[in-house]
């Protein structure tokens, strides 16, 4: 409650302290983002620092949790009332900017934003038809993290192969009890994990953007969902039915996670702190190896920008909006305020500053997770269409069909393929 009051007070202060003394010279920007209270606090602090350096620019913060943020932004963009600066998601590019015109082209303000601080490869991933739609704040990938205390009790080493991961499930069940699982995954993470396995095995991307279709055959989709059933039957992770019995709160806030019954996860390295912070001491999360099939040429990682900062196409203040983005990502004060809240920064200046300050440490789970991901073979490009919210939702429905005994693996696979192909066709029109 106290934090919420501080947050509200600070937000109000940001707006009030920037009342124009010379209205003709003053500019008001709006900035939106999603996240938890920790992200809100550091971002509000950064905006406060920005105003100190640019008293002629006031920033009105608009922040929410994750739930509902996309629908709210969709309404704003459709009505031309979106904020000047927005934290955006990489998989939103096909939704809002299929042709590159959904956001302001940041190449137009390259004299304000120091683009040389960012790897051209990363900027390419957020460029559509030659237009830079967002500056990636950080990059992220899903890797395995394990509760060291629970794994110690089970007497099992962290798995290095898919077979070892499968074997760990039965050991957990026999040694610790039915309520103990090596990992727990939400359905969107299961989708990414299964795709990783398929990429390793077949060396093909899930989405073929040239044909605007999924690359998997009917038999491969059956194998895809069959692998899920195998993970469940091997007691590697709880099924959706058991998971749902704990309610709709965040997984890291659920009792089995806090107490260590769910002993690991497959999660974005950039967000792992909120999972580790909720563990019951002395338990902590440790990075595990990434399971690979023999001879695999690609790990099948879902490697993407963690978030981006974009400028609304409807803005009347692109220069000032660009100043804000450059401050947050490249300036000494902005970088210090944000720290690692949005992952290990991509900005070279930010990395150098945070490393020197001891904020970036090799043993930090998010840092070590990123380094592991970067060390794995990744030759195939990942399509943002694979992470389309409707496809992800349809996948969650397919898992429920299997777990509640409503459809066989084969039928669930066929239904998902039909529905997902339709969604993909509409999205890529």
Long-range contacts, 239-247 (Cβ 8 Å, 24+): 239/399, 239/403, 240/187, 240/396, 240/399, 240/400, 240/403, 240/404, 241/400, 241/403, 241/404, 243/184
221 plus 293 within the same structural domain: yes
What residues have CB less than 8 Å from 370, skipping those under 6 apart? 139, 140, 141, 269, 270, 343, 344
What residues have CB less than 8 Å from 101, skipping those under 6 apart? 131, 313
Burial 373-388 (b: 16+ CB within 10 A, else e): beebebebebbbbbbb
153 plus 98 within the same structural domain: no
C-alpha pair distances (Å), 324 with each of 42, 54, 159, 224, 403: 15, 9, 44, 44, 47
In the chain, the number of structural domains is 2
Residues of the domain holding 331: 2-137+306-356
78 plus 218 within the same structural domain: no
Q: Which of 381, 354, 384 is nearest to 366 (CA)?
A: 354
Q: 316, 339, 356 — which closes off a domain?
A: 356
Q: 323, 356, 389 — which closes off a domain?
A: 356
CATH number at residue 383: 3.40.190.10
SS3 287: strand
SS3 355: helix
* Distance separating alpha carbons of residues 199 and 300, to the nearest angstrom: 5
96 plus 12 within the same structural domain: yes
101 plus 224 within the same structural domain: no
pLDDT digits (tens, 9 = 90+) for 303-324: 888 899 999 999 999 999 999 9
254 plus 289 within the same structural domain: yes
pLDDT value at position 302?
86
The residues that bridge with 197 in the sheet, in sequence order, are none
232 plus 343 within the same structural domain: no
Angular region, 216: left φ>0, alpha ψ -120 to 50, beta rest: beta
53 plus 130 within the same structural domain: yes
275 plus 369 within the same structural domain: yes
125 plus 215 within the same structural domain: no
pLDDT value at position 20?
38
Q: 319, 334, 356 — which closes off a domain?
A: 356
Q: Which of 237, 239, 260 is nearest to 173 (CA)?
A: 237
- Give the H/E segment covering residue 308: strand 304-311
pLDDT value at position 24?
44
- Give the H/E segment covering residue 40: helix 37-53
The terminus-to-terminus CA distance of the chain in angstroms comes to 46
Q: Which of 271, 299, 302 is nearest to 285 (CA)?
A: 271
Residues of the chain falling short of pLDDT 70: 1-24
pLDDT value at position 211?
85
Cα 50 versus chain centre, distance: 26
Q: Which of 153, 198, 195, 194 is nearest to 172 (CA)?
A: 153
373 plus 343 within the same structural domain: no
Q: What angle is formed at CA 41 by the lines to CA 35 and CA 43, rounded to 5 degrees?
A: 75
Contact 192, 142 (CB under 8 A): yes
pLDDT digits (tens, 9 = 90+) for 323-382: 999 999 999 999 999 999 898 999 999 999 999 999 999 888 889 999 999 999 998 888
* Distance separating alpha carbons of residues 112 and 128, to the nearest angstrom: 21
* Distance separating alpha carbons of residues 89 and 300, to the nearest angstrom: 20
Q: What angle is formed at CA 120 by the lines to CA 116 and CA 122, rounded to 5 degrees?
A: 115
67 plus 168 within the same structural domain: no
Q: Is the preceding omega at residue 282 within 30 degrees of 0, hence cis?
A: yes
Q: Which of 241, 313, 289 is nearest to 73 (CA)?
A: 313
Q: What share of the chain is helix, strand, coil (3-state, %, to 5)?
A: 50, 15, 35
């Amino acid at each position: 409650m106290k934090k919420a009051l501080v947050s509200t007070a600070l937000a109000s202060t940001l707006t009030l302290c920037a009342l124009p003394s010379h209205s003709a010279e003053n500019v008001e920007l709006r900035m939106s983002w999603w996240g938890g209270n920790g992200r809100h606090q550091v971002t509000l602090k950064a905006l406060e620092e920005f105003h100190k350096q640019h008293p002629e620019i006031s920033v009105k913060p608009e922040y929410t949790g994750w739930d509902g943020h996309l629908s709210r932004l969709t309404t704003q963009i459709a009505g031309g009332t979106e904020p000047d600066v927005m934290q955006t998601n990489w998989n939103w590019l096909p939704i809002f900017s299929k042709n590159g015109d959904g956001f302001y082209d940041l190449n137009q303000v390259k004299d304000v934003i120091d683009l040389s601080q960012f790897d051209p490869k990363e900027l390419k991933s957020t460029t559509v038809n030659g237009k830079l739609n967002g500056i990636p704040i950080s990059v992220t990938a899903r890797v395995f993290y394990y509760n060291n205390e629970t794994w110690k009790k089970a007497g099992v080493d962290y798995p290095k192969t898919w077979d070892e991961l499968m074997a760990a499930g039965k050991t957990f069940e026999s040694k610790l009890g039915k309520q103990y699982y090596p990992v727990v995954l939400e359905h969107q993470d299961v989708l990414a994990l299964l795709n990783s396995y398929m990429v390793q095995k077949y060396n093909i991307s899930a989405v073929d953007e040239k044909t605007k279709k999924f690359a998997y055959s009917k038999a491969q989709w059956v194998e895809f969902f069959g692998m899920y059933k195998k993970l469940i039957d091997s007691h590697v992770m709880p099924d959706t039915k058991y998971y749902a019995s704990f309610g709709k709160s965040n997984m890291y806030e659920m009792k089995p996670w806090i107490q260590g019954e769910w002993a690991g996860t497959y999660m974005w390295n950039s967000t792992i702190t909120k999972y580790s912070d909720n563990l019951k001491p002395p338990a902590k999360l440790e990075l595990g190896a990434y399971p690979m099939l023999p001879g695999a040429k690609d790990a099948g990682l879902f490697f993407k920008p963690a978030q981006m900062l974009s400028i609304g196409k409807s803005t009347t203040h692109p220069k000032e909006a660009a100043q804000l983005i450059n401050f947050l990502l490249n300036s000494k004060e902005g970088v210090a305020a944000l720290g690692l809240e949005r992952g290990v920064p991509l900005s070279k200046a930010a990395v150098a500053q945070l490393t020197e300050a001891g904020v970036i440490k090799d043993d930090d789970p998010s840092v070590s997770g990123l380094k592991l991901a970067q060390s794995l073979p990744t030759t195939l490009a990942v399509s943002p269409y694979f992470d389309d919210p409707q496809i992800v939702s349809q996948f969650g429905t397919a898992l429920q069909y299997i777990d509640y005994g409503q459809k066989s693996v084969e039928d669930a696979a066929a239904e998902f393929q039909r529905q997902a192909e339709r969604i993909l066709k509409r999205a890529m029109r």
